[in-house]
Amino acid sequence: MTGASGSRATGSRRGNATRLGLMALPVGFFALFFAWPVAAIVARGLKTDGAWHLGRIAEIVTQPDIRHVLWFTTWQALASTALTLLLALPAGYVFARLDFPGKHLLRAVVTVPFVLPTVVAGSAFLALVGRGGLLDELWGVRLDTTVWAILLAHVFFNFAVVVRTVGGLWAQLDPRQEEAARMLGASPLTAWRKVTLPALAPAVAAAALMVFLFTFTSFGVVQILGGPTFSTLEVEIYRQTSEVFDLSTAAVLTLVQFAAVGAVLAVHAWTVRRRETALRLVDPKATARRPRGAGQWTLLASVLVVVALLLVLPLAVLVRRSLDAPGLGYYRALTHADGGTFLVAPVHAVWTSLEYAVAATAIAVVIGGLAAAALARRDAGRLVRGFDALLMLPLGVSAVTVGFGFLIALDKPPLDLRQSWILVPLAQALVGAPFVVRTMLPVLRAVDVRLREAAAVLGASPWRVWREVDLPLVRRALLVAAGFAFAVSLGEFGATVFIARPDNPTLPVAVARLLSRPGDLNYGQAMALSTILMVVCAAALLILERLRTDRTGEF
């Protein structure tokens, strides 16, 4: 008995040491490059002459216009999340269970809208539903300055989040479990509700969480499509910071946003934890089949129509506008520096964005992968599980706050990074790492713990257990996570706009600067750069699909 107890104690200590080792780097990264900059900007707004003015919090929050902003921010995020799930879950099934020509290309096309800069995609959507837009020309219908334009644009952005997060796990579920339920007399709907839906619940919850956070902090879409009528917390923080110059109000709104997001993440962590279970995962290629029956063909056609109207059409508008000038005039203009908007030719932003995105993806995969590995351990304590929610906070805190915080906090040795190229990838990795965690965690937690225990009993070290047991099962999720991080890094705008150097602008920053200047040439160049961004993202995502399909067949 004593020997057994000592062996369990040794195993427990070894597990704790392994978990702490996995958590050390992610904790340090988020503390240094997220918590510190945000705390610095909040302190700058609420602290004057060495004294804190906390009474400003209640004073600002009780203002009628601020209460209206809080209410609109909350309900539009809930409505956007519900609408996105309603339209995207059928697409998740189509990509997971059906095999049809052009599937990999279509998956890349679905993901492209998610990485577009909000100012560009918002402008494209305005061309569809605004004055002189497609709906206005055909039927005299305008949706700009209405909440419907905002909701549809949010679905446009977040459609891929649900498809790739839920569809990725759905493709790995063994369909024979649902087939067995149907053989026992269950209807197709009952079998799906009783067998498949509980298995998908963690992935659906993770996707819903990400969509809610993105729409709760929506900035570019609301600013362009909502006009002066609608304002989210993010828009109000930007207005208070850059237009009114009221840093105190901006700091209070940042704290409110921080508290709201923290509450949502705490509830999410508790509910998801209660639904976790070990799943039987299989090769995704074995679960996808040609559509059979009128029902599956109708579902496939419906998804294709939704994708065409909601996702492809706005992208087609951008391409058409980039070609308005004869002889590819807007594209040729990108190769010349005018000395005003940029210190280099705008096309230089393409290579800069790719370099930054690769660096940001590497950082995000390392940080997010280590965090997911630690969180996946079922013997994790409350402190470790709480970090699961904290990892998502960069998605729910104002990018404006993070950008200003970088400039304020990272301005002194030994971390004076304001002139360093690494500052931009660090900011982009803050947004990419939560995607890595959310993509990998459901799969890691679904791995049967008995496989790890059997390997450990046979003498395998924790590192060898990870390499021999976990990695073969999660490498597909790792590739998907890397693709998400790369795509997010290419399109990140909120924080990058404050820290990107004039001689090294990223694509989103370059597009925003061109859109801010009057004239058809600047607008056309912005559309041309946006088209280039779409092509680069689609190519990268298509390559990722090929690698994932060709090299991860043994699952």
**Separation between Cα atoms, residue 537 and residue 532, nearest integer Å:** 9
Whether residue 319 contacts residue 531, with contact meaning beta carbons closer than 8 Å, is answered with: yes
Whether residue 155 contacts residue 348, with contact meaning beta carbons closer than 8 Å, is answered with: no
Q: What local confidence, expressed as pLDDT, does residue 86 receive?
A: 93
Exposed e or buried b per residue across 303-341, where buried means at least 16 C-beta atoms within 10 angstroms of its C-beta = bbebbeebbbebbebbeebbbebeeeebbebbeeeeeeb
Whether residue 9 is contained in a domain is answered as no
Tokens of 197: 């839906």
Q: Measuring CA to CA, how many Å separate 99 from each of 88, 110, 159, 296, 470? A: 17, 16, 20, 11, 27
This prediction's pTM: 0.74
Torsion of CA 61, 64, 65, 71, to 10 degrees: 70
Q: What is the extent of the structural domain holding 502?
A: 16-551
Whether residue 86 is contained in a domain is answered as yes
User: What is the average per-residue pLDDT within 4-17?
Assistant: 50
Whether residue 325 is contained in a domain is answered as yes
**Separation between Cα atoms, residue 504 and residue 137, nearest integer Å:** 40
**Separation between Cα atoms, residue 163 and residue 92, nearest integer Å:** 4
Whether residue 1 is contained in a domain is answered as no
- Each residue's pLDDT tens digit, 77-92: 999 999 999 999 999 8
- Each residue's pLDDT tens digit, 409-442: 887 777 777 778 888 899 889 888 888 887 888 7
Whether residue 130 contacts residue 142, with contact meaning beta carbons closer than 8 Å, is answered with: yes
Tokens of 43: 């302190």
Amino acid occupying residue 297? W
Whether residue 183 is contained in a domain is answered as yes
- Each residue's pLDDT tens digit, 252-270: 888 888 788 777 777 766 6
Whether residue 3 is contained in a domain is answered as no
Whether residue 11 is contained in a domain is answered as no
Whether residue 555 contacts residue 473, with contact meaning beta carbons closer than 8 Å, is answered with: yes
Whether residue 500 is contained in a domain is answered as yes
- Only one residue has tokens 């209660």, namely 274
pLDDT-derived band of residue 359, with 50, 70 and 90 as boundaries?
very high
More confident residue, 469 or 139: 139
- Only one residue has tokens 């446009």, namely 156
Number of domains in the chain: 1
Q: What local confidence, expressed as pLDDT, does residue 76 receive?
A: 93
Whether residue 272 contacts residue 205, with contact meaning beta carbons closer than 8 Å, is answered with: yes
- Only one residue has tokens 């649900």, namely 162
| 323 CB-near residues (< 8 Å, 6+ apart) | 330
CATH number at residue 394: 1.10.3720.10
Tokens of 148: 């419907």
Whether residue 112 contacts residue 315, with contact meaning beta carbons closer than 8 Å, is answered with: yes
H/E stretch holding 327: none
- Each residue's pLDDT tens digit, 120-175: 777 778 778 876 667 777 787 777 778 888 999 999 989 988 988 888 777 777 67
What totals of helices (H) and strands (E) does the chain contain, helices first?
Answer: 29, 2
